[in-house]
Structure 1
């Protein structure tokens, strides 16, 4: 029994640490874009991540050959160019906490896309989660108040939609037997090219190399990418995906708390209510996945 608890506690600790890293990164990125355009920072952090991933794959003796282009190019454009790019762009117009919550509505969009693209039926819990998410979004948007900033909200929602679309693409088009780390390297590099192109069109190519900016780049490349990939892979290998997914609910919560404490971003009444309702919706979606995992036999690790 002690070994069993020990074997569960370590993966759970990995999920908590991962959520802390990713949650606080919303504040790190918000600070960084004061010294650099958001798309330019996105391109820099992605390419620095590639430079970190290459030696990691070599040390791990993973295959380096590029996966099929018809699969990995759209995947990179959706996952890295779309998701990362629009998330950073949204931070230019919106607060770190609010942006984190809106981006992490991804499971709601994924649920709807899987219904249409994969034929996955929606249960009563899923419809309830969708209704709660839309109510929460309505409270955050406050359409009756025309003074709100809609640009940051739209960009954050687009980031979550691109993220969900990349998951659908991965599920439908991933060739069998592809190494996850190899795919990550190539889709990140391809998506980084898209980000560099977007940055060249949209952002002024000016960087203030302050200590805060350099620290933000290093944070994104080392704990935010290299360590995070290992933590996520370890958690998925040792926990049901539903439990791992529920753990990541901490990410937007930590983002909101960190932005409040460090940046003074205090949500208003309507915004706070909307965030709470969206968290409830995401928790329902994660709980549904957890129930599905509990009904399925636990897969035997391949390595």
Structure 2
């Protein structure tokens, strides 16, 4: 999970920088198409099963909500919103995931989970600071919708692992393929900006494809398989924390005391949620 956070933390900066070189849907489709080719080659070389996991319907819905829907909505949000603002709003995902996990998987949050949610929620409010305005309303709503879409898709992926136990690398590979297929019609329906062929585009897409998509989503699916949907969702809050830190050191965007306090609350919430089983046993 720590490596996933690192890969995805850098990816938000890369995605924002690429908005001037390629359209949002073109970027999502190309990164997933390349990631599929990379992972399929790994499957063949490692002699792992490469057939698309069943059931196909559930596999497709995971791609619609988590793989494609989340990325497309957030990429659109980045066109009008700042990277820090968008990533923070998108990472309301753990709260959506907890709700969907309760409704779909029956994972009822414990009192420790609720305390962790409260601490993390206070932290997110401190970072977003809605009283200062949310920037572009459209971008904010798109980012929130992206978080909800990812939360639902992640819970469906957890359901896939619980009931059908697919090979993680194989499922991730076909998620990249389905993500590209689902996104392709959007590149035709919605006008895209002309592609600017530049070295920045090449390196940016290479990182987004191999690092953030192929490796990042494989690691993420490995986490989802091993822990509850609630814990996986809360653990992903490390990404907006890292984004704040990267913006500080790489972009000179010094965080305010309120943002640093928000980071502290989120880290406290993560600690409580991940230690919830131990805390429950100690009280029992």
* TM-based fold match above 0.5: yes
Deviation at 1:92, TM superposition (A): 1.7
* Alignment root-mean-square deviation, CA: 3.6
Out of 173, 187, 197, the position equivalent to 1:199 is 187
1:93-119 CA-partner distances (Å, limit 9, x unpaired): 222223223323322221122222222
So what's the TM-score if we normalise by structure 2? Answer: 0.81
- Residue matched to 2:26: 40
In terms of mean alpha carbon deviation, does 269-278 or 88-97 score higher? 269-278
Aligned to 2:248: 260
Q: 157, 163, 168: which one pairs with 1:170?
A: 157
Give the direction of change, closer, same or farther, for the CA distance of 1:149–1:136 in structure 2 (3 Å limit).
farther
Tell me which residue corresponds to 2:75. Answer: 88
Q: What is the distance in 2 between the residues matched to 1:185 and 1:52?
A: 8
Deviations 1:53-93 (A, max 9, x none): 11011112122222232121111111111122122222222
Give the drift of 1:206.
1.4
TM-score w.r.t. the length of structure 1 is 0.76
Whether the 8 Å CA contact 1:241–1:293 is kept in 2: the answer is no
Match of 2:32, SS state, is helix
1:285 counterpart residue number: 273
Q: Indicate whether 1:105 and 2:120 are aligned.
A: no
Structure 1 contact 105–278 (Cα < 8 Å) conserved: no
Structure 2 segments unaligned to the other structure (5+ residues) = none
| Contact 2:84–2:240 under 8 Å retained in 1 | yes
Q: How does 1:1-303 map to 2 (within 5 A)?
A: 15-67=1-53, 68-139=55-126, 148-174=135-161, 175-228=163-216, 248-265=236-253, 276-288=264-276
Instruction: Give the deviation of 1:187 after TM superposition.
Output: 2.1
Q: Give structure 1 stretches of 5+ with no counterpart.
A: 1-14, 295-303
Q: Mean alpha-carbon deviation: is it higher for 254-263 or for 160-169? A: 254-263
What is the CA deviation profile of residues 180-229 of structure 1, one whole-angstrom value per residue up to 9, with x for unaligned ones? 22211222211212222223333425110111111011112222234445
Contact 1:242–1:290 under 8 Å retained in 2: no
When structure 1 is superposed on structure 2, of 144-153 and 48-57 the one drifting more is 144-153
Deviation at 1:31, TM superposition (A): 0.6
Q: Which moved more, 1:284-293 or 1:182-191?
A: 284-293
